[in-house]
């Protein structure tokens, strides 16, 4: 079985991720294949796209970052930069696709999976859905257009989600506007068959069930009060001395995640909130990812998470207090001739 299946069935263009043993993680070639399909189908005789993944454990748990680690270990800065440039171009085309895009987001949808699944027009979750932007746990900032999704979340949930990598269940994902519809997993095949046969995207609205409650909605006021600051330092200084609930979880995550990545995530979300543009968001993200392998936290984060698996990364900055405004500026300055390109 190939890593991805791309075909036309009835009235639908279909993209199915087929790496269930790897939680359908995206490879570089899969990104290129998805982009090619989006280009081919803009004018094709189809009514909508259906994007799904094999298995019940994950739609897509992220990008396949092992090759980035290998190349970074050998001082190769170009592989990761090329991967991100091409992936981000695909993300923009997904967001801007002129026909309805229906995505089925079971299990884990994280990182690079968000860039494929959460830029659709009709995003469906089920009981076991877990959606997150956990990049700061490996020394990266939320990317693949994730800063735009975070900027559009209610109140200051975007800062909370981007800094902590908090996993959202179905109710939270819909409330935070990372998803649109709830439908039990066992009903998905019937809906896909209807969409293929009719090309009528209104069948999604007709099939959807009431969304579960959102714990994030209940915690909104507390999150807004703390995460409303201009910088990561402002957020930390607003944190109660004895935080509870979601704020206690946030404190634990902040103590583990990469300080520089969290600080830049806050800055990037604020910039994108003022512009509300997918290409602007991706350009801001690329400024960090372009520099990330050389900076060091990203490679160390991968080592701790998937290579040695000791879960004990040694970040360049040992705490949020050690990150300066100059450090953030260095990672977010324009790239000049190396800026993200939109041509193939």
Would you list the domain boundaries of the chain?
4-338
| The pLDDT value given to residue 83 | 94
| Architecture in CATH of 4-338 | Alpha-Beta Complex (3.90)
CA–CA distance, 162 with 187 (Å, rounded to integer): 31
**168 band by pLDDT with thresholds 50, 70 and 90:** very high
Give the mean model confidence (pLDDT) for residues 28-32. 96
Name the band, by pLDDT with cuts 50, 70 and 90, for residue 115: very high
User: Has residue 165 got a pLDDT over 90?
Assistant: yes
Nearest to 27 by CA among 2, 6, 49, 55: 2
Task: Answer yes or no: are the C-beta atoms of 31 and 67 closer than 8 Å.
Answer: no
CA angle 307, 311, 313 (to 5 degrees): 85
Alpha-carbon gap, residue 220 to 156, rounded angstroms: 8
DSSP string, 252-307: HHHHHS-HHHHHHHHHHHHHHHHH--HHHHHHHHHHHHHHHHHHSHHHHHHIIIII
- pLDDT confidence of residue 166: 98
Q: What does the pLDDT read at residue 63?
A: 87
pLDDT tens-digit series, residues 253-312: 999 999 999 999 999 999 999 999 999 999 999 999 999 999 999 999 999 998 999 999
pLDDT above 80 (res 74): no
Q: Is the pLDDT of residue 326 over 90?
A: yes
Give the strands of the sheet with 48-53, arranged side by side: 4-9, 12-17, 48-53, 101-105, 122-125, 181-182
The pair phi, psi for residue 25, each rounded to 5°, is -60, 145
Mean pLDDT throughout 115-125? 98
Q: How far is CA 289 from CA 33, 199, 277, 340, in A?
A: 22, 38, 19, 11
* In the predicted structure, residue 343 carries a pLDDT above the cut 80: no
Q: CB 310: neighbour CB atoms within 10 A?
A: 9
What tokens does 249 get?
């979880």
Averaged confidence pLDDT in the chain: 96
- Predicted confidence at residue 212, as pLDDT, reads 97
C-alpha 57/C-alpha 55 separation (Å) is 6
Both structure tokens of 287: 């400024």
pLDDT score of 309: 93
* Placement of tokens 């909130």 in the chain: 273
The pLDDT > 90 percentage for the chain reads 93
Residue 61 CB partners (closer than 8 Å, separation 6+): 22, 23, 24, 25, 107, 108, 109, 110, 111, 113
222-256 per-residue burial string, b: 16 or more CB within 10 A, e: under 16: bbeebbebebbbebbeebeeeeeebbeebbebbee
Paired tokens of 251: 């404190």
How much is the pLDDT for 164?
Answer: 98
Q: Which tens digits make up the pLDDT trace of 173-225?
A: 999 999 999 999 999 999 999 999 999 999 999 999 999 999 999 999 999 99
Task: Name the token pair of 165.
Answer: 């990598």
pLDDT of residue 186: 98
Total count of residues recorded for the chain: 344
The answer, yes or no, to whether residue 344 has pLDDT greater than 80, is: no
The DSSP call for residue 208 is -
Would you give the DSSP letter of residue 166? P
């Amino acid at each position: 079985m190939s890593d991805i299946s791309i075909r036309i069935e009835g009235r639908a263009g279909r993209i199915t991720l087929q790496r269930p043993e790897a939680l359908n993680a995206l490879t570089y070639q899969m990104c290129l294949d998805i982009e090619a399909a989006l280009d081919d189908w803009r004018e094709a005789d189809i009514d909508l796209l259906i994007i799904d993944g094999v298995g019940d454990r994950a739609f897509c748990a992220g990008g396949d970052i092992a090759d980035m680690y290998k190349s970074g270990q050998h001082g190769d800065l170009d592989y990761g930069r090329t991967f991100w440039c091409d992936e981000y171009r695909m993300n923009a085309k997904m967001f801007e696709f002129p026909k309805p895009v229906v995505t089925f987001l079971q299990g884990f949808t994280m990182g690079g999976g968000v860039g494929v699944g959460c830029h659709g027009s009709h995003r469906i979750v089920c009981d076991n859905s877990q959606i997150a932007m956990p990049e700061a746990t490996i020394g990266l900032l939320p990317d693949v257009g994730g800063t735009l999704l975070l900027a559009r979340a209610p109140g200051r949930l975007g800062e909370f989600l981007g800094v902590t990598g908090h996993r959202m269940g179905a109710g939270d994902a819909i409330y935070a506007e990372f998803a649109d519809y709830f439908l039990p997993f066992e009903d998905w095949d019937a809906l896909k068959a209807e969409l293929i046969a009719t090309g009528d995207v209104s069948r999604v609205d007709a099939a959807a069930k009431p969304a579960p409650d959102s714990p994030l909605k209940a915690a909104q006021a507390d999150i807004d009060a703390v995460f409303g600051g201009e910088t990561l330092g402002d957020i930390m200084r607003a944190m109660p001395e004895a935080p509870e609930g979601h704020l206690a979880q946030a404190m634990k995550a902040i103590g583990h995640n990469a300080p520089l990545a969290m600080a830049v995530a806050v800055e990037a979300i604020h910039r994108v909130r003022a512009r509300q543009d997918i290409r602007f968001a991706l350009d801001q993200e690329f400024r960090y990812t372009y520099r990330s392998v050389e900076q060091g936290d990203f490679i160390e984060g991968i080592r701790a998470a998937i290579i040695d698996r000791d879960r004990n990364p040694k970040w360049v900055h040992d705490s949020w207090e050690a990150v300066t405004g100059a450090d953030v500026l260095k990672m977010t300055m324009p790239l000049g001739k190396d800026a993200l390109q939109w041509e193939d």
